[in-house]
Structure 1
């Protein structure tokens, strides 16, 4: 029996409409690609020079080496290193732009307020003297420290890593020789290392891949989140809704899609300012909704509802009610403009490195953010008058969600129970077994599997067994749509021990209801918040983070970024589940290095399992084994 395309009822309702409207979706294109290349799926195809492409026969009946003599182990390891470096490059580029914005804001060129508490926290972590300095002076010193990492021409380790990573982990990484220097240099070196005629040692290539995970973790994720919190504010809990039912028939619907909150927050601001213009155009107002991580960012800080996650971005347009979709970077399907051509929807690109034929381009720069945002909002208002009412179908599906759980917000809630040692209530409940462990679920949707199913079924099984789940990215969207990010989710899905803890925390926070069983911690770059929480618990207990009953999962990964994030989690010593098989199975040696060998030297490992219940069992087994080593009841 063929698996359904999604477990999201809004998606299943809109797919027949897409077909009737003559719209080709990602699921149609996936079917057209079958059968997909088996060599590529196994990672045994090499295109790194123009003598190729070379393909290794996985059944040993054909070529066993590339033209240059590269073995299957070398080819698979090189391909993986390039993918992880690509993911790290995406996040480092994102972080760099945030640093540029902070510099301009500190010089009063940009109109962003600065979070003084976060400024103090980051300054002290970097060893910057805060006495007698105003927030703009501190911001410029933080900018200087960030630029120093990006301009380091020696062997000094990345300062952001040395200031924020678990100390025991730093010792492990130093002994392995994988602590990165200048992040741009490391990415450049990985590209060089994987060209024809270079590194042929799969072990060395896998260690280089681990280094790229550290580049991503500290010069991408951590740096971006810290700087964005300074610029835009550190998130605190908010309540809103998720799924395509958040769109409103008689409102101008403007969707924010991508990953750059510097633009998204400007659009949110000007949408509020220009409500009267929308009313003058015949609408009741302007409704902003988010897709992917831009959606997570404005949700965390402004309470903007979530429309949907990666795989259903085209179906948001198929509702016929979206007047404009503004995109920035990453996870943008080039098909959006073609889908929009069947409706009145305006697709608006904003970045010089993301242009789509058929879309309108409105350039966004740090200096012109307000002007660009106004133009985008007004274009959505004008598009409202061109709607075809016969094409509108908004699925009546949405769930209440609670989000905004930064580490600061979590510790703030715990302080209500123990002001002196806020982590103590959390750690005590891990020790006594009310909370068996913690799992972070992250990452994407993948059209190869039923949309959201792996995320939701995996997490339901974990919380039933008293595992506290924290989530980011498209995983957070999936769990929000499934009702796992509200108090009712705790009543319906959490085990007794976890339910008791979340109920006590909710009461202490004045909610008169439990906290959700899954805590929404933000966007993809906000995975650093999960790392910060792990680091804080390890420091409180004075143990290596590799010993904690903590694990990670990318249930439906599809992007290179997910591989780089997962690699960083492994370097932290975490068992990291992948619910979609990565392209490495062509090499038994590389597969064993990633799933077994790494744990011997770095503490963490990858764990691949495509069945959600079996995956949950594997993570539970891992957590219980770690509890046993710590002498805790399991």
Structure 2
């Protein structure tokens, strides 16, 4: 049994709410993680196989038991198949999210999505141009419809490549063609990956992993990139906005509605309903001073980026937010939603609502959102949440909110630099900014909540390395105070000078986890400006607390794009030294980047700093020795 005073987080709200959860006899993710100990060693090493019904099988890593499964698959094959299926699942999740948005875009073009509209015509026309859409004499809605249908083609079978790989530097595209990993179609690569990993198909661990690279690229330069771009078209290109973070954003005297998941199609309509005069008048009639909308996970990030909506927490805070007793309704869509939260909410007055036709959860009411009904559904749910305000009992909001600034898109970063990437390049050449690291990913109960994120970020900015972040790490860094212009004082002298001159924080919030593709676009722009490949740049990626299949796919498409990537937790691959050596060493010879695993964020910082200095040296820039 956990000590009620146990510190499971580096955050004050996390620890105080965990203490309350224990007091209230609420089972949390940390309790369930402890109950699973010891976890299966075969699974942890990737040596268990459940692909066919001749199994389940396992391979003994010590050589004393079976060395193959029933079908004859050895450790290399089993580990590679398992990893590739993780890549396929991660690619499917983010790419399917992109498909949802494309379908909304098409519905808007037909006038069958009341409440939605084209918010950024310039972005629409830019994308239409990239897709070769004929815009001559067409109105905005007609262009939107043609673009949506052109994007849908990327999901099917294309003969050469998905459209947006054209954004990658020419040297990178030539490398992909040479290696044979240019993604041909979004769904095609995922389908082929699942086919290859079926029993009796591809039993060469190397060719499996090559297809894994192509499958991941189909998401990074396909489905996820489409998701981000269409979100910008429908909801607006993000721009920096002041906001607040942590559990303190919940209000004792207001109706609190929390949105959770990843799909802005739902949260945008909920946001609109919360601001309606009808709902605000109803809230006052029920004794509330207003309606307070807050976010958790990436749905919250989408709203923060575009509306400045406050963030109550990240992945591992979801259950704890409910224990405040202040949440009148939590509305979820899909991804990173623990099936436990319906049970937790039942211990309080919170109404739980699921909204996606592909994601239902125990203990939740289900109200499906579709483009044609989303506006009405949102109004009905907000009304129910307001009426639930009078059912509140004890409320505990443990902290005051932390101020932050979020919402940096590639466009606003370039705009802040005066419309060109040259000032950033000049700062890198001068050594004032040594390089940049994208820190991404969620939380994992195997790691003290937010410790990896915050520690690594602090160490990097102290060494004049600019940090950009997405997803759950962005909430951790905002709580730590890194997302204010005044945080420049925490940075090294060079980064501090640049941040103060531009009035920006040393850590830039780039959005939700699909928005990792903004990092791809930004590094491509830098590579093109310098006339080099992405792998030549003093940049890196990191996922200090990752847990999901999506994170595997993100890491693989970053590495395949030329960005060396650090992972905190070890992937389930240690059962095959061949696979480990390929991912950590061999890939560098193939795509110019690889993986590094280091659970200790301070040691990880040293690795990333040294990597950046080596890349500076390779470009003929000054390099420091640690």
1:103 corresponds to which of 82, 94, 106: 106
State how many pairs are aligned. 616
TM-score (norm 2): 0.97
In the other structure, the counterpart of 2:156 is 151
In the alignment, structure 2 segments of 5+ residues that lack a partner are: none
In the other structure, the counterpart of 2:497 is 500
**Structure 1 residue 600: Cα displacement:** 0.3
Structure 2: distance between partners of 1:540 and 1:144: 32
SS at match of 2:187: helix
**Structure 1 residue 215: Cα displacement:** 1.3
The within-5 A match list for 1:372-383 is 372-383=377-388
Structure 2: distance between partners of 1:130 and 1:502: 40
SS at match of 1:241: strand
Would you say 1:477 and 2:475 are equivalent positions? yes
**Structure 1 residue 195: Cα displacement:** 1.1
Structure 2: distance between partners of 1:206 and 1:40: 19
2:52 corresponds to which of 49, 53, 65: 49
SS at match of 1:36: coil
SS at match of 2:510: strand
In the other structure, the counterpart of 1:116 is 121
1:94 corresponds to which of 64, 72, 97: 97
**In the alignment, is the contact (CA less than 8 A) between 1:125 and 1:164 conserved in 2?**
no
In the other structure, the counterpart of 1:175 is 178
Would you say 1:339 and 2:337 are equivalent positions? no
**In the alignment, is the contact (CA less than 8 A) between 1:9 and 1:397 conserved in 2?**
no
SS at match of 1:556: coil
Structure 2: distance between partners of 1:205 and 1:602: 16
**Greater shift in the superposed pair: 621-630 or 350-359:** 350-359
In the other structure, the counterpart of 1:439 is 437
2:449 corresponds to which of 445, 448, 451: 451
Would you say 1:350 and 2:358 are equivalent positions? no
SS at match of 1:526: helix
CA-to-aligned-CA distance 1:123-173 (integer Å, 9 cap, x gap): 233344444433223212211220121233x52311232x32222111111
The within-5 A match list for 1:1-150 is 4-110=7-113, 111-114=115-118, 115-150=120-155
Structure 2: distance between partners of 1:184 and 1:222: 14
Q: Which aligned segments of 4 or more residues in structure 1 are displaced greater than 4 angstroms?
A: none
CA-to-aligned-CA distance 1:356-390 (integer Å, 9 cap, x gap): 222111111111010110111111111111111xx
* Alignment RMSD: 1.4
The within-5 A match list for 1:315-464 is 315-388=320-393, 391-415=394-418, 419=419, 422-464=420-462
2:486 corresponds to which of 485, 488, 498: 488
Structure 2: distance between partners of 1:150 and 1:315: 38
SS at match of 1:254: strand
**In the alignment, is the contact (CA less than 8 A) between 1:327 and 1:350 conserved in 2?**
yes
In the other structure, the counterpart of 1:516 is 505
1:537 corresponds to which of 526, 529, 532: 526
The within-5 A match list for 1:304-323 is 304-323=309-328
**In the alignment, is the contact (CA less than 8 A) between 1:10 and 1:397 conserved in 2?**
no
**In the alignment, is the contact (CA less than 8 A) between 2:527 and 2:533 conserved in 1?**
yes
**Do the aligned partners of residues 132 and 328 (structure 1) sit closer, same or farther apart at CA in structure 2, a change above 3 Å counting?**
same
The within-5 A match list for 1:189-228 is 189-228=192-231
CA-to-aligned-CA distance 1:578-616 (integer Å, 9 cap, x gap): 011110111111001000000101111111000001001
**In the alignment, is the contact (CA less than 8 A) between 1:146 and 1:160 conserved in 2?**
no
Structure 1: distance between partners of 2:557 and 2:477: 23
**In the alignment, is the contact (CA less than 8 A) between 1:183 and 1:219 conserved in 2?**
yes
Structure 2: distance between partners of 1:87 and 1:244: 29
In the other structure, the counterpart of 2:301 is 296
Structure 1: distance between partners of 2:60 and 2:448: 30
In the other structure, the counterpart of 1:510 is none
The within-5 A match list for 1:235-314 is 235-273=238-276, 274-314=279-319
**In the alignment, is the contact (CA less than 8 A) between 2:443 and 2:545 conserved in 1?**
yes
